Amino acid sequence: MADRLRMVEAVRETLRAELERDDSVVVYGEDVGRAGGVFRATEGLLDAYPDRVFDSPVAEAGIVGVGVGLAATGLRPVAEIQFQSFLYQGFHQLAQHVARIRSRTRGTVTCPMTIRTPYGGGIHALELHSESFEAGFAHVPGLTVVVPASPAETAGLLTASVRSPDPVVFLEPTRLYRSFREEVPADHELPLGEARIVDSGEDLTVVAWGSMLRETLEATAELDADIEVIDPRTISPLDTETIVESVRKTGRCVVVHEAPRTSGMAGEIIARITEDAFYYLETPVERITGYDVPVPLFAREDAYLPDADRIEAGIRRVLDRN
Amino acid sequence: MADRLRMVEAVRETLRAELERDDSVVVYGEDVGRAGGVFRATEGLLDAYPDRVFDSPVAEAGIVGVGVGLAATGLRPVAEIQFQSFLYQGFHQLAQHVARIRSRTRGTVTCPMTIRTPYGGGIHALELHSESFEAGFAHVPGLTVVVPASPAETAGLLTASVRSPDPVVFLEPTRLYRSFREEVPADHELPLGEARIVDSGEDLTVVAWGSMLRETLEATAELDADIEVIDPRTISPLDTETIVESVRKTGRCVVVHEAPRTSGMAGEIIARITEDAFYYLETPVERITGYDVPVPLFAREDAYLPDADRIEAGIRRVLDRN
Amino acid sequence: MPREDIAQFTIRSVQVLAEDGTVDEDLAPSLSDDELLDCYEAMKRARRLDERAISLQRRGELGTYAPAIGQEAAQVGSAFAMDEDDWIVPSFREQSALMVRETPPQQILEYAMGMEEGAEIPVDEHALPPAIPVGTQPLHAAGVGWGEAIQESPNVALTYFGDGATSEGDVYEALNFAGVYDAQTVFLCQNNRYAISTRLEDQTAAETLAQKAIAAGIDGVRVDGNDVLGVYRVVSEAIERARDGDPTLVEALTYRRSMHTTSDDPSVYREAAEEDEWEARDPIVRFQVYLENRGLLDEETKATIDERVESEIADAIDRVNAARDELDPADMFRHVYAEQPPELERQAAAFERKGDRDG
Amino acid sequence: MPREDIAQFTIRSVQVLAEDGTVDEDLAPSLSDDELLDCYEAMKRARRLDERAISLQRRGELGTYAPAIGQEAAQVGSAFAMDEDDWIVPSFREQSALMVRETPPQQILEYAMGMEEGAEIPVDEHALPPAIPVGTQPLHAAGVGWGEAIQESPNVALTYFGDGATSEGDVYEALNFAGVYDAQTVFLCQNNRYAISTRLEDQTAAETLAQKAIAAGIDGVRVDGNDVLGVYRVVSEAIERARDGDPTLVEALTYRRSMHTTSDDPSVYREAAEEDEWEARDPIVRFQVYLENRGLLDEETKATIDERVESEIADAIDRVNAARDELDPADMFRHVYAEQPPELERQAAAFERKGDRDG
Ligand SMILES: Cc1ncc(C[n+]2csc(CCOP(=O)(O)OP(=O)(O)O)c2C)c(N)n1
Ligand SMILES: Cc1ncc(C[n+]2csc(CCOP(=O)(O)OP(=O)(O)O)c2C)c(N)n1
Ligand SMILES: [Mg+2]
Ligand SMILES: [Mg+2]
């Protein structure tokens, strides 16, 4: 690698590298083989590794469930679910088995499976192609939930996910797949469970991930304030410390996500800040989120998604309060 | 009715009354017919309404999915899922269709379906028979999520759920099914979306639901303080106002749930309190919750579940802080 | 017993209108000349809408669109077999069938423009909106067919899904529920040989899809899906059986001649030669030859039909463009619950005020 | 073509050991006298463990327990057909099969006492823990059988599930995946006629469960599940086919003679007369008659076996009681992730300190 890649290319090159490095890696999912994936994230892999790349039947419970068996035989399953909402079809396999086979067996059977799936809105896709349910996945103990926000981050975090001894739900913001290029180092592995301080600042902390990070950076660029921007990267287990330390320093915080507001991850983050940084808060934490409505079809989608304007307005409100 | 009933009897008598009152009500689910349900919550209903009570195949996606069709033909489906974790098998039908058919069709097709399911721990049941995923369901816009805490509340809320024009996930705490009796008025309907102030008080607010309400009341009975106890009853849409008003008055709050901590409903409640009552808080809100582990098998289950002792200790900490 | 054969099953395939345009007179359905011409016009209308939609999408005026070019016989033939009060339960590729059921092309375009208006169901219309998640809607159709049975109504539900969908557990559960509850449901699987790029042999080891019915103990039959008369006949029979509580799985063997959706490039996963082969088997051409041979279709009639179709679609495009310009985004808050809960009211208000306070 | 039969399927049923204890010599598997006696002892052990477990549960010493009384032939016969390195993928009622695979009765009791220790899998043991959610584990077995195929290993997976499970979409998806990927998997459905209270006719309209294989394009066969030799034979054949990548669904027709679990009262939903009928068809009795007729089993041998089984189980009960007393509840924090994340560490510490600060 070490090339300037788009996010979707970073996915592909990471999978290629992991297939090459480790014979036990198998890649499968709907249309990942001959077509190379509906976003071309697996293009060329079947040709290069014909014995370890497979097109799957259209059956997400199956895709998730067979992973438990593949892993038991010593393989390292890397499955693609074509869109995040269709992981719901396999949610029971995820929650009842993948997430807990380690604890059920006191560590004697494990499931080092990675489930990659395009996630989030902003590409004017069909109904149910734009959801973000990271909070629901994060509520299942045993899962690691990752959302990358750039090509290099994708490579680093996906490498770590494939190598992780635990199951990872790897949520790829479709909106960022082709939106920009970035230098991606070869054999890049980033730690899971560690947030990234994207921008340092003293006045206010913003926590944002996925494509909301980009909107946030657009918003903060407009602002004449010293803002710390944190990308948790791993949604669960969440790196509380980095967030809490930042809020202790800034005393002000805004959390952004595109998932519906109620019961979203912002609630969890606000609770942790309340627990560990309450006395440092100069003003309440705000959250800028999707609304509590199903993501509308694309003609109304832009109205649903938080954008740089809404984030900027939110930051201003929190800065202006005292 | 107007009898002293156990919760499971309140379920049964409510279903009987609704079957009687409204010809469009159909009751179905695994073993609900000839056996009258594994908890006997539907005992006698098949005999009384042989054309509208059905045993279902063991297929939860099916049970949820056919509800969309039944409702389209003008029926009012009341389905039982044998244990809450098995609703995961039908989570996709719930999130992709049941919850959103109204918004997808701009109100021209609706799904007034009630999905009842035993929920929560404390009865020393098998693996995956003790989970509580209310936070995950609450994250799906369009659903109403209800947890009753007593026989009369069960009757009132279940009546409202069956009559609701929107789909309701009705979570019945198994631990309370037979734990006590209560006077249950006939034709009792309680509003959805409204919290109940179980005890009024000035010193501290506790928010708790399901079997955790009982643990909370046990804890507060031990305490020499004036505690306000709120049962939200409807987890989503949540009655923010009642909670916020209470916290504005008491300045202190503890939220209790048995679901795992991370991404649980306590986070959402703390976020709402932060938004609307921050300046009234004398000390951070605490949460007493299940741990971030799969609910263990029953030999270790008591260690997992929050109990009156943990709640009491939590309340004391919050009261003692200043 | 030692070894004993205890159950035997046969899957039958039906064709009425052969590829050369000749008809098996014994099996030919009794359709009037007008009905035959209506059927033809419906197929033409569907084809033309798809073609126009593809070019609108190419010009950026439409979102992702799933054309059914090549599948018109399967959809139109089956939709014609329904009575007015029967239910249509479609997936995302059923514009041909929906238009037979009098969904105006405008609504189809609205949906493709990302407007919920396109999925509004008129009062008393027995239809469900398109299901985007593959294989979910057959359960709804099983529920409809069961609900009608409970209410002793004669109406049946006809649901559409693809070959790929048959791999989803939901479809199997739907067949099984229908069998258990004597649901008044017909399951129409359009086997167009591909699920996006995935060929049938990577989808299942089953040699036919009709045989999936056997697992549920219901009838399964295959029909030539490019033969509109065959589809009409087989589906009519299935509908009649369904009225008596006997559900059927019909496999209509066809071919998706164009892309999976406008986001898809089939040349990545299939040969032009294969596409050419199926061009020769086009369902409209075949039916046209038949109608011409019967003397029902001359150049003038064809031209009249083409013009009518063309202007209907042009009208629809005008109307939908106008509708798009009037779209109120705040509408997304209005249909989540029957009555708006306070928190959602607050969010809607925040949305209108923009920036004053967030959702 | 007009109408043509395009596919034909036959479901066959096998019985080797008849109800009267006579055997079909052509089909009888070649098992040595010792193997036959081992098989008998395994069935007796299973029966006795179930009986003891029920009475322990009645005394409050055990949690919910799912006995397999009446199903010993189906489980023991099939487990005997496996090679040592083959995989067992059980549901929650497979103690008979698990003990053949050398799961000690102690672990089975531990599991029934609510201890995760009971689901620990020894290193190099090819087994998955019991699956509580109905119908989920066949997918794991499809994955195992596919994984072994990918790695060109000869091992197969044998998974157990019930008649009720066949209604779950997951089971169908498992059969279909196995067919597509030539998974080295055998699917053993113990059709014990009930899913808790639900009778087969409320579960599916299919006349056999073996025919569910047809939907996935794999082999399906029925065997008398109370005939240990028949089960052994049919499953052995299926395992051999699976080694070559041909999965099979075997339906073993049997009867659950006792309760669904210790929380269940079958008298609510079935007649004593039916239970009596099946008592007469008990798999152990039938096999015993056969062994006696062959001169392999006299009163003394029977007594020795009974005593051995009795003392093994008594030992297991002692050991598990001791284990229970040493249980560390904090163990629940230890196996959630390979490495404990900080938040969980904090929660575990809070748990130990109790009350200092909550989780
Ligand atoms: C549950 C689910 N999984 C995956 C997808 C993505 N997807 C859309 S169409 C399709 C293939 C469907 O194939 P088929 O059933 O044959 O229907 P066709 O597109 O050929 O009409 C897939 C995988 C989806 N929409 N829903
Ligand atoms: C997904 C799921 N749904 C429901 C249940 C509750 N339940 C436990 S056993 C059972 C019946 C299973 O019947 P069958 O498959 O015939 O197996 P058997 O109990 O007869 O061995 C049910 C419904 C469950 N454990 N999992
Ligand atoms: Mg297809
Ligand atoms: Mg059974």
- B69: closest CA among C152, A18, C127? C127
Q: Which fold has domain A3-184?
A: Rossmann fold (3.40.50)
Q: Is D251 in the same domain as D346?
A: no
Q: Which domain holds residue D338?
A: 331-359
Q: Which two tokens stand for residue D53?
A: 């477990």
Report which protein residue has its CA nearest ligand 1's atom 20.
C195
* C292: contact with D, CB 8 A cutoff: no
- A59: closest CA among D132, D173, C16? D173
DSSP 3-state of C225: coil
Nearest CA in chain D to A52: D150
Structural contact between residues B157 and B192, judged by C-beta atoms closer than 8 angstroms: yes
**D88 membership: H or E segment, kind and range:** strand D87-89
Percentage of residues in chain B having pLDDT higher than 90: 98
Q: Is C25 in the same domain as C94?
A: yes
- Cα-trace Rg, chain B: 19
* D342: contact with A, CB 8 A cutoff: yes
Q: Is C174 in the same domain as C278?
A: yes
D93 in contact with ligand 2, CB cutoff 6 A: yes
φ/ψ bin of C27: left (φ > 0), alpha (ψ from -120 to 50), beta (otherwise): alpha
| Subunits adjacent to chain C (3 or more Cβ pairs under 8 Å) | A, B, D
Structural contact between residues A233 and A149, judged by C-beta atoms closer than 8 angstroms: yes
pLDDT at C355: 56
- A88: closest CA among B87, B147, C277? B87
Q: Is C173 in the same domain as C255?
A: yes
Task: Return the beta strands (E) in chain A as ranges.
Answer: 3-6, 25-29, 53-55, 76-80, 114-119, 144-146, 168-173, 181-184, 196-199, 204-207, 227-231, 234-236, 253-260, 286-290
Establish if D3 belongs to a structural domain: no
Instruction: Compute the C-alpha angle B99/B100/B105, nearest 5°.
Output: 145
pLDDT at D102: 87
Percentage of residues in chain B having pLDDT higher than 70: 99
Q: How far apart are CA D214 and CA D219, in angstroms?
A: 7
Neighbours of A20 (CB within 10 A): 11
Query: Which of D6, D16, D213 is the closest to C222 by Cβ?
Result: D6
Q: Is D351 in the same domain as D290?
A: no
- B99: closest CA among C137, C335, A93? C335
Contact D170 A142 (CB under 8 A): no
Contacts with C, D 5-24, CB within 8 Å: 5-16, 24
Query: Which of A26, A65, A165 is the closest to D170 by Cβ?
Result: A65
Structural contact between residues B93 and C131, judged by C-beta atoms closer than 8 angstroms: no
Q: Which two tokens stand for residue D59?
A: 């005394």
The CA D177 to ligand 2 mean position distance, Å, reads 22
Nearest CA in chain D to B308: D355
pLDDT at D336: 98
Q: Is D348 in the same domain as D241?
A: no
Contact B58 D264 (CB under 8 A): no
Report which protein residue has its CA nearest ligand 2's atom 8.
D134
Q: Where are the domains of chain B?
A: 3-184, 196-320
pLDDT tens, position by position, D308-318: 999 999 999 99
- A128: closest CA among B206, D228, B141, D291? B141
DSSP 3-state of B85: helix
Sorted by sequence, the CB contacts under 8 Å of residue B310 that are 6+ apart come out as B288, D355, D358
- C92: closest CA among C190, C184, C167? C190
D165 in contact with ligand 2, CB cutoff 6 A: yes
pLDDT at D1: 77
The pLDDT of residue B64 is above 60? yes
DSSP 3-state of A155: helix
CA distance D261 to chain B (A): 11
Contact A292 C331 (CB under 8 A): no
D126 in contact with ligand 2, CB cutoff 6 A: no
pLDDT at C264: 95
Sorted by sequence, the CB contacts under 8 Å of residue B73 that are 6+ apart come out as C143, C144, C147, C148, C151, C153
Q: Is D125 in the same domain as D229?
A: yes
Contact A108 D342 (CB under 8 A): no
Sorted by sequence, the CB contacts under 8 Å of residue C183 that are 6+ apart come out as C142, C143, C144, C145, C146, C149, C157, C177, C242, C245, C247
C133 in contact with ligand 1, CB cutoff 6 A: yes
Q: Which two tokens stand for residue B9?
A: 């009897």
Which residues, listed in sequence order, are joined to residue B119 by a DSSP beta bridge? B173
Which residues, listed in sequence order, are joined to residue A228 by a DSSP beta bridge? A205
Contact D150 A57 (CB under 8 A): no
Q: How far apart are CA C59 and CA C54, in angstroms?
A: 9
Q: How far apart are CA D304 and CA D291, in angstroms?
A: 15
Give the phi and the psi of residue B102 in degrees, each rounded to 5: -65, -50
Contact B31 D196 (CB under 8 A): yes
Query: Within 13 Å, how many C-alpha atoms sit on residue A282's CB side?
Result: 17
Whether residue D256 lies in the annotated active site:
yes
Q: State the CATH class of domain B196-320.
A: alpha beta
Query: Which of D198, D336, D359 is the closest to B55 by Cβ?
Result: D198
| Active-site amino acid positions of B | 129
pLDDT tens, position by position, D95-106: 999 999 989 999
Q: Which two tokens stand for residue D68?
A: 């397999």
D256 in contact with ligand 2, CB cutoff 6 A: yes
Percentage of residues in chain D having pLDDT higher than 90: 96
Q: Which two tokens stand for residue C36?
A: 């035959």
| Subunits adjacent to chain D (3 or more Cβ pairs under 8 Å) | A, B, C
Cis, bond preceding B237 (omega within 30 deg of 0): yes
Alpha-helix residue ranges (DSSP H) falling in A84-144: 91-93, 101-104, 134-138
B34-55 in b/e burial notation, b at 16+ Cβ within 10 A?
Answer: bbbbbbbbbbebbeebeebbbb
C and D: number of Cβ contacts within 8 A: 157
Q: How far apart are CA C156 and CA C88, in angstroms?
A: 9
pLDDT at C209: 98
The closest-lying atom of ligand 1 relative to the alpha carbon of residue C195 is 13
C162 in contact with ligand 1, CB cutoff 6 A: yes
pLDDT at C102: 87
Establish if C188 belongs to a structural domain: yes
Structural contact between residues B208 and B184, judged by C-beta atoms closer than 8 angstroms: no
- A262: closest CA among A294, A219, A232, A308? A294
Contact B109 C343 (CB under 8 A): no
Q: How far apart are CA D45 and CA A55, in angstroms?
A: 45
C259 in contact with ligand 1, CB cutoff 6 A: no
pLDDT at C1: 77
Q: How far apart are CA A217 and CA A312, in angstroms?
A: 10
Establish if D4 belongs to a structural domain: no
The CA-atom distances, in angstroms, between D4 and each of C16, C193, C225, D7 are 12, 20, 15, 9
Q: How far apart are CA D200 and CA D206, in angstroms?
A: 9
Instruction: State the sign of the Cα–Cα–Cα–Cα dihedral B150, B151, B153, B154.
Output: positive
| Subunits adjacent to chain B (3 or more Cβ pairs under 8 Å) | A, C, D
Q: Which two tokens stand for residue D358?
A: 């909550």
The residue among B274, B278, B286, B289 with the most chain A CBs within 10 A of its CB, best to mutate, is B274
Query: Within 13 Å, how many C-alpha atoms sit on residue D223's CB side?
Result: 32
The CA D92 to ligand 2 mean position distance, Å, reads 9
Nearest CA in chain C to B98: C140
Sorted by sequence, the CB contacts under 8 Å of residue D326 that are 6+ apart come out as none
Q: Which two tokens stand for residue A233?
A: 């990267």
Q: How far apart are CA D131 and CA A74, in angstroms?
A: 20
| Residue in D45, D193, D243, D260 annotated catalytic | D260
With the most atoms of ligand 1 within 8 angstroms of its CB, the residue from C92, C196, C199, C203 to mutate is C196
Domain of residue D252, CATH code: 3.40.50.970
Segment D10-31 mean pLDDT? 96
Q: How far apart are CA D355 and CA D359, in angstroms?
A: 9
* D138: contact with B, CB 8 A cutoff: no
DSSP string, B13-77: HHHHHHHHH-TTEEEEETT-STT--TTSTTTTHHHH-TTTEEE--S-HHHHHHHHHHHHHTT-EE
Query: Which chain B residues are Cβ-neighbours of A103 within 8 angstroms?
Result: 293-294, 296
Confidence of residue B275 (pLDDT cuts 50, 70, 90): very high
Q: Is D157 in the same domain as D54?
A: yes
Q: How far apart are CA A158 and CA A114, in angstroms?
A: 9
In order along its 322 residues, chain A shows pLDDT tens digits of 568 999 999 999 999 999 999 999 999 999 999 999 999 999 999 999 999 999 999 999 999 999 999 999 999 999 999 999 999 999 999 999 999 999 999 999 999 999 999 999 999 999 999 999 999 999 999 999 999 999 999 999 999 999 999 999 999 999 999 999 999 999 999 999 999 999 999 999 999 999 999 999 999 999 999 999 999 999 999 999 999 999 999 999 999 999 999 999 999 999 999 999 999 999 999 999 999 999 999 999 999 999 999 999 999 999 999 7
Which residues, listed in sequence order, are joined to residue A169 by a DSSP beta bridge? A115, A145
Query: Which chain D residues are Cβ-neighbours of C204 within 8 angstroms?
Result: 176, 179-180, 216-217
Q: Is D242 in the same domain as D316?
A: yes
CA of residue C215 relative to chain centroid, distance = 24
Q: How far apart are CA C204 and CA C264, in angstroms?
A: 22
CA of residue B239 relative to chain centroid, distance = 14
D133 in contact with ligand 2, CB cutoff 6 A: yes
Q: Is D90 in the same domain as D139?
A: yes
Q: How far apart are CA C119 and CA C107, in angstroms?
A: 7
- C126: closest CA among B73, D191, B160? B73
pTM (two decimals): 0.98
Establish if C1 belongs to a structural domain: no
Q: Is C350 in the same domain as C261?
A: no
Q: How far apart are CA D217 and CA C206, in angstroms?
A: 4
* C123: contact with B, CB 8 A cutoff: yes
Query: Which of B62, B104, B106 is the closest to C139 by Cβ?
Result: B62
CA distance A269 to chain B (A): 8
Regions of chain C short of the pLDDT cut 70: 354-359
C222 in contact with ligand 1, CB cutoff 6 A: no
pLDDT tens, position by position, C52-100: 999 999 999 999 999 999 999 999 999 999 999 999 999 999 999 999 9
Contact D120 A237 (CB under 8 A): no
Whether residue D260 lies in the annotated active site:
yes
The pLDDT of residue B142 is above 80? yes
DSSP 3-state of C259: coil
pLDDT at C353: 82
A30 in contact with ligand 1, CB cutoff 6 A: yes
Nearest CA in chain B to C346: B240
pLDDT tens, position by position, A1-55: 568 999 999 999 999 999 999 999 999 999 999 999 999 999 999 999 999 999 9
The pLDDT of residue B1 is above 60? no
Q: How far apart are CA A213 and CA A122, in angstroms?
A: 13
The pLDDT of residue B299 is above 90? yes
Give the phi and the psi of residue C282 in degrees, each rounded to 5: -55, 135
Query: Which chain D residues are Cβ-neighbours of C12 within 8 angstroms?
Result: 3-6
- C80: closest CA among C121, C39, C24, C130? C39
Structural contact between residues D63 and D267, judged by C-beta atoms closer than 8 angstroms: no
- Please indicate whether the domains covering A3-184 and A196-320 agree at the CATH topology level: yes
C195 in contact with ligand 1, CB cutoff 6 A: yes
Query: Which chain D residues are Cβ-neighbours of C203 within 8 angstroms?
Result: 180
Contact B62 C173 (CB under 8 A): yes
Query: Which chain D residues are Cβ-neighbours of B262 within 8 angstroms?
Result: 343
Overall number of domains in chain D: 2
